[in-house]
Amino acid sequence: MKPQGVHPEGAESTSDASSRPDTADVDGKDTDDCVEEVHADEVESDEPLLPARVHRPSDLMRLLVGVLAVVVLLAIAAFAHGTTSGLEQDINKGTGQAPDLLIKIAGLASSIAILLVPVAFAIERLIKRDGLRIADGVLAAVLAHGVTLATDLWVAKAAPGSIQEALTQPSPGDIHALTDPVHGYLAPVIAYMTAVGMSRRPRWRAVLWIVLMLDAFSMLVTGYTTPFSIILTVLIGWTVAYGTLYAVGSPNVRPTGQTLIAGLRTVGFHPVSAAREEVSETAENGDRGRRYFVTLEDGPPLDVTVVDREQQAQGFFYRVWRNLTLRGFATRSSLQSLRQALEQEALLAYAAIAAGANAPKLIATSELGPDAVMLVYEHTGGRTLESLAEDEITDELLRNTWRQVQALQSRRIAHRRLAGDAIVVDRSGAVILTDLRGGEIAASTLLLRMDVAQLVTTLGLLAGAERAVASAVSILGPDAVADCLPMLQPIALTRSTRATLRRLARERAQREREAVLEASQQAKQARLEEAPDDARPVLEKPDKKTAKAEARAEKRAIDDAIEEAREEDLLTQIRHQVLLIRPQAPVEPARLERVKPRTLMSFIAGAIGAYFLLTQLTHIEFGPLVANAEWGWVAAAVLFSACSYFAAAMALLGFVPERVGFLRTVAAQVAGSFVKIVAPAAVGGVALNTRFLQRQGVRPGLAVASVGASQLFGLGCHILMLLSFGYLTGTEKTPSLSPSRTVIAGLLTVAVLVLVVTSVPFLRKFVVTRVRSLFAGVVPRMLDVLQRPQKLVTGIGGMLLLTACFVMCLDASIRAFGQEGTSLSIASVAVVFLAGNALGSAAPTPGGVGAVEATLTVGLIAVGLPKEVAAPAVLLFRLLTLWLPVLPGWLAFNHLSRKGAL
């Protein structure tokens, strides 16, 4: 962090600063007056130009919440008709006892106030030279009026009867007419008042609520509205307002450097200049505040941190996601008020110094209007730990860092962000802990251990695992360091540390791939150089025996290169260093995640699939359908499903040159039926087959290559079969052999995707990296298989047979419920199955639950099968291929595990 240069004039003029909205009073004086006074004293400030408008994530969140609330309200009105009717009767009964005079006064007062309050607030804002907010409010009001008209039209013409009854009732003046579902004048007023920022003005907000309650009361009593209509009106106005603010952006209310100087004068300082420090504005540290280096007329300089609402919103969605996925003790509040942020940082600063740790000394705090606060620290100087050169990071410096953390932990204070930029080394070599805002007092033992895990990782990145662990043990002791091992996992580290570890992992993988390719080339070159001149033509065009010998030699060279190039990641190195000191230390990672992203995605996809299926099944009468089912075709579907496991075993063994038992491989494929219920289909089967081959004596690298070769070849066969059957489907109803438009559209889509990937540098690099790693391991394995025709025929035959078994199982399921004339051609069934299977493999849900059912049902209906037949046929197919094999799969999995085969 270094301050930017100080200029004679600020980046923003006094008039620009004074025109900023919502610049509240400071010690009884308007901030604009303070700014003019400061400018008169010619105080220098350096502040980069700020954007005139900002798009706040909080506005987007309120928009989404409002839309969700409207949907929930309409759902309640549609499906809870009895509840809504009872609620209306109770409210009408209660309000009907109100005196007529009170009703008339309330109606008159609210009708006048609805017009006067917006006008009065607009005048007040114009006096403050805040015309932009008025424009935002007018735009929101216009949009809200349009939404109310559209809603009224929808309720009158297309809405279900239950929603219409909940939102309208016969008009008191004309029993043949209905009241408005949404109040056309109230929703725009709410949108206007919300968009102009009345919620941040307590007095105006109180007036608004009084007016709204009076209006609602008078409308309910006189019978011109319903409770649901009032709620819907408020929600529409509120939602449209925040949608408008997020779309056009809110006026930027960040205090400028001149405003900061004015605030410093109010707390007794006499600043000469203020320079903004350069810090990275990432999602993780963007809410830490803007920092200024302030020089005074007399006395040492100051470090000032300014926190405003916009910076608090930075990283909001990331923090919400962390709160959702991690357990409570591992997270902190995703959104705090400015007052809470000020109090927390001040409390942590005082607590750290009281504990004996070196931390910036807080000497003053103050508000800078309603949208910002400042914290004034004594200037520390120095450089961050991550900016030091490698030779400057001495063992004594590492130990001093641990001493500061030990001081915090002695008073149970958790820092929560011990990254390299939060540790400062001053000119004398003293270590200072900064960025205490996210810490906690009275922290739990788990949080203290997370701090140790984070700091040992930070120091390991800078000085190596051995020195980091040794310095920690010398200060904290071996037991305290060993206790942090369960927390030594990426999810417990800061976002910047995780990003660094991922970058190092990519670099490490790249070095391993380059070593493998280099070893392969060197092996070939060495064989050519060692061979006599008369034998070189034979090596360049080898026979079968020579090719096998070359392949074996090349595999040995590649395996040796992989072993030599393999590097342990930093976290593994740290664990090994700790285990050398405490061999009995716990290494099992603590469970910090409340819910994994994959589990959440599986739940959402499963819910969508279940909803789709339930909507299809509600129109089907299963009694007559099951009674008329052809049980012979059901038995045939069971037989085809059972045969698929033998075909899967053939497809795998065809790419394994080593000798592996066939029946045991079949049992492993049955066990895969259990595994794919708890893991995505494209992941669980690969992991199980790789583990199975390793247990059967195949070396780990070769096992991975064999499964990868099988998957690669299967992907190619899948695409070819999909195109072939799609072509046949398009020619079934035409005399000429012309492909269908769907196939042509698919080919054009693939061509466009290829062009996009090859033209975008990031995507091209991503694909090239993956393909290079593929050629480093999988392709040599396929070359081994190509030299054994019997194995190649087994693999290809198994893949074709596997697809045929599934297609015939689906076809038999269709025939089991279909009537005469409702069956489909094999080509059509194959296209539907191949498309559904591809989507199921890509879906993150276990076994493709939800995605496969939806795709197969829609596909069968699209090719001409009645919905009454497609839905039960898909259910039977999935029952036989996914759910019924779970119990045999579990038994096979346990049996193979006991035998040591998994």
**Digit-coded pLDDT (tens) for 872-898:** 888 888 888 887 888 888 888 888 888
Q: Give the list of residues 6+ apart from residue 75 with CB closer than 8 angstroms, or none.
A: none
| Three-state SS at 676 | coil
Q: What is the radius of gyration, based on Cα positions, of the chain?
A: 35
* Choice between 326 and 315, residue whose per-residue pLDDT is larger: 326
Measured in whole angstroms, how far is the alpha carbon of residue 367 from the centre of its chain? 34
Is it the case that residue 386 has pLDDT exceeding 60? yes
What is the rounded distance in angstroms from the CA atom of residue 285 to the CA atom of residue 439?
A: 13
- In terms of average pLDDT, the best of 112-121, 337-346, 373-382 is 373-382
95 in Cβ contact with 281 (< 8 Å): no
Residue 21 confidence (pLDDT) = 36
| Three-state SS at 80 | coil
List helix spans (H) across 732-846: 741-759, 761-786, 789-817, 826-842
| Three-state SS at 822 | coil
The b/e string for 82-110 (b: 16+ C-beta within 10 A; e otherwise) is: eebeebbeeeeeebeeeeeeebeebbeeb
The CA-based diameter of the chain, rounded to the nearest angstrom, is: 118
- In terms of average pLDDT, the best of 398-402, 486-490, 526-530 is 398-402
What is the rounded distance in angstroms from the CA atom of residue 484 to the CA atom of residue 447?
A: 10
Pick from 201-205, 264-268, 467-471: least confident: 201-205
What is the rounded distance in angstroms from the CA atom of residue 881 to the CA atom of residue 416?
A: 48
**What is the share, in percent, of the chain residues with pLDDT greater than 90?**
15
- Main-chain phi, psi angles of 819, to 5 degrees: -90, 175
Pick from 8-17, 64-73, 644-653: least confident: 8-17
Is it the case that residue 411 has pLDDT exceeding 90? yes
Residue 255 confidence (pLDDT) = 74
168 in Cβ contact with 178 (< 8 Å): yes
| 579-606 average pLDDT score | 70
What is the rounded distance in angstroms from the CA atom of residue 87 to the CA atom of residue 451?
A: 53
Q: Give the list of residues 6+ apart from residue 69 with CB closer than 8 angstroms, or none.
A: 235, 239
Residue 486: DSSP 8-state: G
What is the rounded distance in angstroms from the CA atom of residue 571 to the CA atom of residue 348?
A: 29
Record the pTM.
0.57
306 in Cβ contact with 277 (< 8 Å): no
**One-letter amino acid identity for 716?**
G
Both tokens of residue 740? 């269908």
Residue 73 confidence (pLDDT) = 84
Is it the case that residue 201 has pLDDT exceeding 50? yes
Distances (CA, A) of 478 to 399, 449, 481, 584: 14, 13, 5, 11
User: Secondary structure of the chain: what % helix, strand, coil (to 5)?
Assistant: 65, 5, 25
Band the pLDDT of 38: cuts 50, 70, 90: very low
Residue 48: DSSP 8-state: P
* Nearest CA among 485, 504, 509 for reference residue 570: 504
| 422-438 average pLDDT score | 90
Both tokens of residue 713? 């070849």
Mean pLDDT for the chain overall: 75
274 in Cβ contact with 45 (< 8 Å): yes
21 in Cβ contact with 132 (< 8 Å): yes
Residue 679 confidence (pLDDT) = 57
Residue 680: DSSP 8-state: B
Residues 278, 282, 285, 286: what is their CA dihedral angle, to the nearest 10 degrees?
80
**What is the share, in percent, of the chain residues with pLDDT greater than 70?**
63
